[in-house]
Amino acid sequence: MSYYPTIGLEVHAEMSTRSKMFCGCKNDPNEERPNVNICPVCMAHPGTLPVINKQAVENVIKVGLALGANIATDFTEFDRKNYFYPDIPKGYQISQYKFPIVSGGTLAGVDVTRVHLEEDTGNNKHDRGDFSLVDYNRAGVPLMELVTEPVIHSAEQAANFGRELQLLLQYLGVSEANMEKGEMRVEANISLSDNPDKFGTKVEVKNLNSFRSVERAIKYELARMQDLYEAGRQNEIVQETRGWDESKQVTFSQRKKEDSHDYRYFPDPDLPKLVLKEVFDIESLKTGLPELPSQKRARYEKDFGIKAEDVETFVNDYSLSVWFEEVIGLLDSKDKIVTASNYATSDLLGLMKSDTTIKFPKSEHFAELISMVGGGEISSRVAKDILAHIVKNPVSPKAYATENDLIQKNDEGALKEIAQKIIDANPAVVATYKSGKENALMSLVGQVMKETKGSANPQLAQKILKELIG
């Protein structure tokens, strides 16, 4: 029997703002001291009134524009979402229901239903014993929620959408979207049906904090549902909220899933209705958007000829991408840019992976290194050695190469002497080459490179060896 999975995602991302959503408290995701960024407003003391954070609204508008969505320029409002948990001081959450800031749009081939703005909750701590503590530093932080249409049909597609959204938020500068810090959380609505024209019962898996968890939780849940179908127990699939146990790699039931009416939404009487076109210049925001990940992919492939896998490396690593853009601006040809791409994605990232203390070298130093390679001043082998040095010592590659006699030797007379010495010392290898085995010549070239500490021009060394051997 065939089964048809349907998945929709709800993604929460904390907005990068100086203050919280409705008060002046500091928005600091790195604060480790509990309950220091709080005030009477975000702690819901009687008589306090919220004030809307303009920057947070602008951030969500930018997301909508990047998605090609509709912006609620005429009318949007905030609502009270009523439910009680210890991490919500008010006893309700200020959110948006009927009139979100953003409607529609698409990303990575997935249709978006809406993007709205709300306040984050506090953070429950359960690691101190048989009791819980609450840190309210996060309570009231601006929180974007994006809801997709139920048009995703695999765990891999869901995870890819999450990755692309994370990149989009980072490129727009509206959120760090660091999942390890809880700045971005994914919830997956999952159903399985044996009828392609009918949805199955929906289950929501909450607070997935890595894309690996998103993928594994969806796969597990779909497998669980399929097992129930095949056992004739599909009636046991009920609409509920489930959690993901990372250690056991399983989902588990948490509570019956609420419907929207259970939250008793109503417009927040303390907050004004927003007419966005009177507050923001939407067209200026649109024209001021930075280059988006999809646009960068197209530019790197078309303008520079960088191979697709390297393009993805740059696009997916925002900090690497920012640094590489500086390098590009210092290089004068496509060939050098491609060479820079090769060294950055293989050698540089390899060094950084082996030693996490290593940072990006100065862009001008890296560009100088690449220009030296492109101009034939140093060999590829020497370039790798110099790179390993300058990532820890911020010095000019040219100065370092000159000081250490690493500039590539193109003096035929000097190389002939070295080559003859190598030939005389390796009669067996020479004989092997003369017998028709071309690879033997490369062994001799390698010895020339070793003798010159990698500074010989390998192409010239090969030419001279051939001439001398005859």
Least confident stretch, 112-116, 350-354, 419-423: 419-423
Instruction: Give the chain's mean pLDDT.
Output: 92
Nearest Cα to Cα of residue 141 among 163, 157, 117: 117
Q: How large a percentage of the chain has pLDDT more than 90?
A: 76
Q: What is the spatial distance between Cα 80 and Cα 269, in angstroms, rounded to a whole number? A: 9
Write down the pLDDT at residue 178: 94
Write down the pLDDT at residue 258: 65
What does each C-alpha distance from 348 to 194, 356, 388, 391, 461 come to in angstroms?
50, 12, 8, 8, 28
Coil, helix or strand at residue 146: strand
Length of the chain: 470
Confidence of residue 440 (pLDDT cuts 50, 70, 90): confident
Per-residue model confidence as pLDDT tens digits over 364-419: 999 999 999 998 888 888 899 999 999 999 999 999 998 887 887 666 777 788 87
What does each C-alpha distance from 444 to 170, 384, 462 come to in angstroms?
51, 21, 8
Write down the pLDDT at residue 409: 64
Q: What are the residues whose beta carbons fall under 8 Å from the beta carbon of 259, sequence distance 6 or more?
A: none
**Token pair recorded at residue 400:** 């370092």
Total-model pTM = 0.83
Per-residue model confidence as pLDDT tens digits over 281-306: 999 999 999 999 999 999 999 999 99
- For helices 318-328 and 308-316, give the axis angle rounded to 10 degrees: 110
Say which residue the tokens 């994006």 belong to: 146
Confidence of residue 97 (pLDDT cuts 50, 70, 90): very high
Nearest Cα to Cα of residue 340 among 330, 350, 355: 330
Q: Is the pLDDT of residue 431 over 90?
A: no
- 49 versus 433: the higher-pLDDT residue is 49
Write down the pLDDT at residue 454: 72
Confidence of residue 422 (pLDDT cuts 50, 70, 90): confident
Query: In this structure, are residues 215 and 158 in contact, taking their beta carbons and an 8 Å threshold?
Result: yes
Q: Is the pLDDT of residue 423 over 90?
A: no
The DSSP line for 14-64 is E---SB-SSSS-B--TT--STT-S--TTTTT-TT------HHHHHHHHHHH
Q: Is the pLDDT of residue 108 over 70?
A: yes
The residue ranges of every structural domain in the chain are 4-285, 293-403, 412-469
Mean pLDDT to the nearest integer, 439-450: 81
- Read off the amino acid at residue 332: D
Tell me the chain's radius of gyration from C-alpha atoms.
30
Least confident stretch, 59-63, 309-313, 381-385: 381-385
Confidence of residue 459 (pLDDT cuts 50, 70, 90): confident
Q: What is the spatial distance between Cα 286 and Cα 279, in angstroms, rounded to a whole number? A: 15
Query: In this structure, are residues 3 and 193 in contact, taking their beta carbons and an 8 Å threshold?
Result: yes
Please give the sequence-ordered ranges of beta strands (E in DSSP) within 216-276, or none if there are none. 240-245, 250-256, 266-267
Write down the pLDDT at residue 257: 64
Query: In this structure, are residues 390 and 369 in contact, taking their beta carbons and an 8 Å threshold?
Result: yes
Q: What is the spatial distance between Cα 81 and Cα 47, in angstroms, rounded to a whole number? A: 20
Query: In this structure, are residues 31 and 158 in contact, taking their beta carbons and an 8 Å threshold?
Result: no
Q: What is the spatial distance between Cα 311 and Cα 301, in angstroms, rounded to a whole number? A: 7
Per-residue model confidence as pLDDT tens digits over 146-200: 999 999 999 999 999 999 999 999 999 999 999 999 999 999 999 999 999 999 9
Class of domain 412-469: mainly alpha
Q: What is the spatial distance between Cα 461 and Cα 415, in angstroms, rounded to a whole number? A: 7
